Structure 1
Amino acid sequence: MRSLLIVASTALAITIPAAAMSQARHASEEAHAAHMASEAIAAPTRTPANVERDKYRNPAETLAFFGVKPGNTVVELWPGGGWYTEILAPLTKAGGGTLYVAAPWERGLNRIKEKQAADAATYGALKLAEFPATGAGPQVPDGSADVVLTFRNVHNWRFGGADNTANAFKQIFAMLKPGGTLGVVEHRLNESDDAAKEEKSGYMKESSIIAFAEAAGFKLAEKSEINANPKDTKDYEKGVWTLPPNLREGDTDREKYLAIGESDRMTLKFVKPAS
C-alpha cells in the first residue's frame, strides 16, 4: 500500500509542474502574438485615415479575442478597402503565416490588387481567392485555415437572401481546419426589432448570425463587447451608413452622427468542432 501511495504522489508531483509549464507556454505565446499584433497595428504602411478609426474598431483587442497568431493561416473575407488587411498582411508576413483575402472574383478584390501593385513588399505575399466560391477564381483549400475573419460583412450576404447566407457559412466551415476559429464582427440589431430590418438596414441580430453559423456546424465559443457602442440608436432612415465613416446624410446632423461614432457591433467567436 505504501508503495502505491509513493507512486501516486510522484505522479501528482510530475503532473502539476507539467500543467504549470503548459499554462506558462500558452501565456508566452499569447504575449508574443499581442506584441507582433501591436507592431503590425503601428506599421508605417497603414493609411493614416484608417489609423484614426482604431478607436472604433479596437484591432488589438479584437485579434486577441479571436486568437489570431502570426504563424496562422488566416482568411479575411470581403476585405473591401483593406482596413484589416493593412494589419493582417504585415502580421502574418512577420510571423511566417499565410493570409488569404477572399471576395467576389470580378469586383471584390480590386482595391487589394491596387495595394499589391503599390507596395509589393507588404502585400505581395497575399493570396487572392474567390468567396463565395463559384469556380470563377481560385478558392481557399478546404481544411487549410486556422482562422477565418469577417468584419461587418454578414449583412451583405443577407441582402442576397437566406440561402446565400447559409451557403457562405457552409463554405467558411469547409475552409477551416478542425478546431479552427471563425471570428465575426457585425453591426448589431436589437433582438426586439423586426427581423425584416436585416434586409435593408445593414444591422443583423446576434441570434440570426448564431443560427446561420450553428446550422453550418459551428459552435459558439464566446461573445465579447469589445466593439459595442451604446450611443448607436439604430433607427436611421438610411441605415447603418448614416453613421461614420459613410455619413450618408452629408452635412445634415453631421455633428450628431460624428458624436455617436461608428456602429454598435457584436463580436462573436465560433469554433469548428475538432471531431
Structure 2
Amino acid sequence: MKYLFAALLAGGLATACTTPAAPDDSATLAPVEAPATEVSVATFDYASVFGQDDRPAADYEQYDIRKSKDVLTFTGILPGMTVLDLEAAGGTYTELFSRVVGDSGKVYMQNPPAFDAFLGDAVSKRVDGRLANVTPVRAPFDDLSAIPDGSVDVTTWLLGPHELWYTPEGAEPGALGDPDKAFAEIARVTRPGGQFIVLDHMAPVGAPATTGGETHRIDKAIIISMAEANGFTLSEESDLLANAEDDGSLNVFDPAIRRKTNRFLLKFTKG
C-alpha cells in the first residue's frame, strides 16, 4: 500500500484524489468556445513550461521519469484550450496543462472522492492562490456533471483507466464509477473533433478488465473498444513509454518493474 500512496502523492503514477479547498462541483459552468488560436503543435515551445518556479519540487523529479515533455507534446494541448485532466492526482500534469493553455484557457482537475484519504490537501495546495485557470472537480469518473456538454478540447487520462476496475481500501465496489458510464461521460464533455488521450500500463494481451484492480494494468484493446463504442476513433499511437522486456505479469508497484512498465499511449478523436 505504501507504494500506491507514494505514486498518488507524486501526482498520478497510478491514480489519485484529494479534496479541494471548497469546490462547488454542482455549479453549472458556461460552455467554453473552441480556442481561437493560430499557434500549432509544431510551433508551440513545450519546453517553456518546464522552467524552475514555485511548483512542487517533486514535479521536476518526475519529468524525466515520465518523459513529460514528450507526453505533453503528444497531447497537442495549445493556448486557449479547455482541458479535462482525469484522475489528476496531485496535479503534476495539471500544472503543465495550466501553463500551456494560459489565461484564455481552462483546466478541469478531476479526482474521485474515493481517493480523498490518499492526498489530503494536495489539490488545494496545487491550485489555491496559484493556478487561476484550474477548476477542481471532485467526482467519480461516471459523473462529470460539473462540466458542460462538448466544452472540452482535450480530455486526458494518464495512468488511470485501469482504476475503473479497482476498489480503494475502505470503499464500496464501484465507488470510482461504472466503466461504461464513465466512457459515455468522457464522450459527452469532449467536443466533436476534440481529443481523448489515454496512457496506461499494459496488461497481457487478452487479459480481462478486472486485471486493472489486481495489477493496475489494462489490455489496451479494452480501452480502444470502449472508446470506439462511444464515438471516438483511434487517430495516433506512440511507443514513447513502451518496454518490450515487461511481460505485463507483475503489479506495477513491484520494485522489479516500477516506473519501467510497458505503457501504451493513445490519441482518439471524437467524431
Residue matched to 1:221 = 235
More displaced stretch, 195-204 vs 215-224? 195-204
RMSD of aligned residue pairs (Cα, Å): 2.8
In the TM superposition, residue 130 of structure 1 has moved relative to its aligned partner by 3.8
Output aligned runs, 1:180-219, within 5 Å: 180-193=194-207, 196-219=210-233
Instruction: Name the % identity.
Output: 26
- Is 2:108 the partner of 1:100? yes
More displaced stretch, 172-181 vs 45-54? 45-54
- Is 2:250 the partner of 1:241? no
Query: For 2:42, what is the secondary structure of its paired residue?
Result: helix
Q: Tell whether the 8 Å contact from 2:84 to 2:155 is kept in structure 1 after alignment.
A: yes
Change (3 A) 1:44 1:231: farther
Runs of 5+ unmatched residues, structure 2: 1-36, 167-172
In the TM superposition, residue 80 of structure 1 has moved relative to its aligned partner by 0.9
For residues 207 and 188 of structure 2, the distance between their equivalents in structure 1, rounded to whole angstroms, comes to: 32
Q: Tell whether the 8 Å contact from 1:130 to 1:139 is kept in structure 2 after alignment.
A: no
For residues 151 and 70 of structure 1, the distance between their equivalents in structure 2, rounded to whole angstroms, comes to: 20
- Is 2:151 the partner of 1:144? yes
What code does the residue aligned with 1:242 have? Answer: D
Change (3 A) 1:231 1:132: same
Change (3 A) 1:191 1:123: same
Change (3 A) 1:46 1:227: farther
- Is 2:63 the partner of 1:54? yes
Normalising to structure 2: TM-score of the pair? 0.73
For residues 184 and 219 of structure 2, the distance between their equivalents in structure 1, rounded to whole angstroms, comes to: 19
Q: Tell whether the 8 Å contact from 1:133 to 1:139 is kept in structure 2 after alignment.
A: no
Residue matched to 1:265 = 263
* Over 3 Å off, 4+ runs: 105-110, 130-135, 160-163, 192-196
More displaced stretch, 167-176 vs 81-90? 81-90
For residues 69 and 204 of structure 2, the distance between their equivalents in structure 1, rounded to whole angstroms, comes to: 26
Q: Tell whether the 8 Å contact from 1:155 to 1:204 is kept in structure 2 after alignment.
A: yes
Q: Tell whether the 8 Å contact from 2:112 to 2:140 is kept in structure 1 after alignment.
A: yes
Change (3 A) 1:31 1:226: same
For residues 79 and 64 of structure 1, the distance between their equivalents in structure 2, rounded to whole angstroms, comes to: 18
| Structure with greater helix percent | 1
For residues 93 and 45 of structure 1, the distance between their equivalents in structure 2, rounded to whole angstroms, comes to: 16
What code does the residue aligned with 2:127 have? Answer: Q
Runs of 5+ unmatched residues, structure 1: 1-24, 244-255
Residue matched to 1:113 = 124
In the TM superposition, residue 53 of structure 1 has moved relative to its aligned partner by 2.5
Partner deviation per Cα, 1:235-273 (whole Å, 9 max, x = no partner): 33xx11224xxxxxxxxxxxx55xx74322100101110
Q: Tell whether the 8 Å contact from 2:142 to 2:178 is kept in structure 1 after alignment.
A: no
Residue matched to 1:129 = 137
Residue matched to 1:9 = none
For residues 113 and 46 of structure 1, the distance between their equivalents in structure 2, rounded to whole angstroms, comes to: 13
In the TM superposition, residue 224 of structure 1 has moved relative to its aligned partner by 0.7
In the TM superposition, residue 181 of structure 1 has moved relative to its aligned partner by 0.4
For residues 208 and 154 of structure 2, the distance between their equivalents in structure 1, rounded to whole angstroms, comes to: 32
In the TM superposition, residue 49 of structure 1 has moved relative to its aligned partner by 2.8
For residues 190 and 59 of structure 1, the distance between their equivalents in structure 2, rounded to whole angstroms, comes to: 25
For residues 43 and 216 of structure 1, the distance between their equivalents in structure 2, rounded to whole angstroms, comes to: 40
Change (3 A) 1:56 1:229: farther
- Is 2:76 the partner of 1:67? yes
Equivalent residues, number = 225
Structure ID, larger Rg: 1
Partner deviation per Cα, 1:190-237 (whole Å, 9 max, x = no partner): 21546553331101001011111112221111111112123434333x
In the TM superposition, residue 43 of structure 1 has moved relative to its aligned partner by 4.0
Query: For 2:43, what is the secondary structure of its paired residue?
Result: helix
In the TM superposition, residue 93 of structure 1 has moved relative to its aligned partner by 2.3
For residues 44 and 157 of structure 1, the distance between their equivalents in structure 2, rounded to whole angstroms, comes to: 34
